[in-house]
């Protein structure tokens, strides 16, 4: 038996945070916590009687500061990021194929560079936590943080190779959606459906997006594992 919680931040970044736990041992992981929601997350952890073992980041976020520092201080959990992030304050830096064990459950790291060079997706059972690599009917931008549209195309294909029934849980949704599946994204996501690597790169090049409001604060803080200067 396992426990799964999806938490939504409605304070402007529409970030989805996930808590997964083994119901027997109560050991838990949290994926992509948000600084302003640390008290919320601690309350959930306490109410469910969980022991937080790992704080897991999908990438160095540009839109919000991770809640990792506060959660680590409160629980003693280890901070985990992908090796490609270069976030050296992490307790653990995962490479493609590495795993985290909590109780009888396993979280699998899947390197998915492109949105940023250090992006890591994760799989738990038949659920994919895709960060900003695949959003519901969208994909993460590639115009900053060493973004690379060609690499993102390859990473999206890597995730879309999982079975159609696997669920897709992204880091954000701005349109009141909460979950998708590999099969649904293959049908509806224009970035997944790009006809070639070149066409995908062109699609990303043509996006003209505003600079994230908090990037100058968020990225340096996240590179310090969430310590706000
Ligand atoms: Fe992002």
DSSP three-state, residue 113: coil
Element (H, E) at 182: helix 182-188
In a domain, 166, yes or no: yes
**Residue pLDDT, tens place only, 16-45:** 999 999 999 999 999 999 999 999 999 999
In a domain, 217, yes or no: no
In a domain, 229, yes or no: no
Measured over the CA atoms of residue 6, residue 9, residue 10 and residue 14, the dihedral's sign is negative
| Cβ–Cβ < 8 Å for 32, 59 | no
Q: Is the pLDDT of residue 160 over 80?
A: yes
Going from the Cα of 24 to the center of ligand 1, the distance in angstroms, rounded, reads: 33
In a domain, 218, yes or no: no
| pTM value surpassing 0.75 | yes
The pLDDT value recorded for residue 214 is 94
The pLDDT value recorded for residue 177 is 98
| Cβ–Cβ < 8 Å for 35, 228 | yes
User: Which residues have C-beta under 5 Å from ligand 1, the single-atom ion?
Assistant: 132
| Cβ–Cβ < 8 Å for 32, 16 | yes
**Residue pLDDT, tens place only, 163-221:** 999 999 999 999 999 999 999 999 999 999 999 999 999 999 999 999 999 999 999 99
The pLDDT value recorded for residue 229 is 75
Mean pLDDT over all residues of the chain? 97
In a domain, 187, yes or no: yes
Write the CB contacts of 55 (distance below 8 Å, at least 6 apart in sequence).
29, 30, 33, 66, 67, 68, 71, 72, 77, 78, 79, 80
Domain that holds residue 31: 2-207
Going from the Cα of 63 to the center of ligand 1, the distance in angstroms, rounded, reads: 7
Confidence bin at 11 (pLDDT 50/70/90): confident
In a domain, 223, yes or no: no
Going from the Cα of 144 to the center of ligand 1, the distance in angstroms, rounded, reads: 10
| CA angle centred on 223, ends 206 and 143, rounded to 5° | 5
Confidence bin at 10 (pLDDT 50/70/90): confident
C-beta atoms surrounding 213 within 10 Å? 12
CATH of the domain at 74: 3.60.15.10
**Residue pLDDT, tens place only, 74-122:** 999 999 999 999 999 999 999 999 999 999 999 999 999 999 999 999 9
| Total number of domains in the chain | 1
Rounded to whole angstroms, the Cα distance separating 157 from 146 reads 20
Token pair recorded at residue 71: 């959660």
Q: Which of 107, 145, 103 is nearest to 125 (CA)?
A: 107
The pLDDT value recorded for residue 153 is 98
Going from the Cα of 1 to the center of ligand 1, the distance in angstroms, rounded, reads: 31
> Average of pLDDT values for 1-14?
94
Rounded to whole angstroms, the Cα distance separating 116 from 34 reads 19
In a domain, 214, yes or no: no
């Amino acid at each position: 038996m396992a426990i799964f919680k999806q938490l939504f931040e409605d304070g402007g970044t529409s970030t989805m945070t996930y808590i997964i736990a083994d119901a027997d041992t109560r050991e838990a992981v949290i994926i992509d916590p948000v600084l302003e929601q640390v008290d919320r997350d601690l309350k959930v952890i306490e109410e469910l009687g969980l022991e937080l073992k790992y704080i897991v980041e999908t990438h160095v976020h540009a839109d919000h500061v991770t809640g990792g520092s506060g959660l680590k201080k409160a629980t003693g959990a280890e901070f985990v990021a992908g090796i490609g992030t270069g976030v050296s304050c992490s307790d653990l830096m995962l490479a493609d194929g590495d795993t985290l064990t909590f109780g009888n459950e396993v979280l699998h790291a899947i390197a998915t560079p492109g949105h940023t060079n250090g992006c890591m997706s994760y799989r738990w059972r038949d659920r994919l936590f895709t960060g900003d690599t695949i959003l519901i009917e969208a994909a993460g931008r590639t115009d900053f943080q060493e973004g690379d549209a060609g690499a993102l195309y390859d990473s999206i294909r890597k995730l879309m190779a999982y079975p159609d029934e696997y669920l897709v849980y992204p880091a954000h949704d701005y349109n009141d959606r909460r979950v998708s599946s590999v099969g649904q994204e293959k049908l509806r996501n224009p970035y997944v459906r790009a006809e070639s690597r070149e066409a995908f790169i062109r699609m990303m090049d043509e996006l003209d997006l505003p600079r994230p409001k908090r990037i100058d604060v968020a990225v340096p803080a996240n590179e310090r594992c969430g310590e706000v200067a």
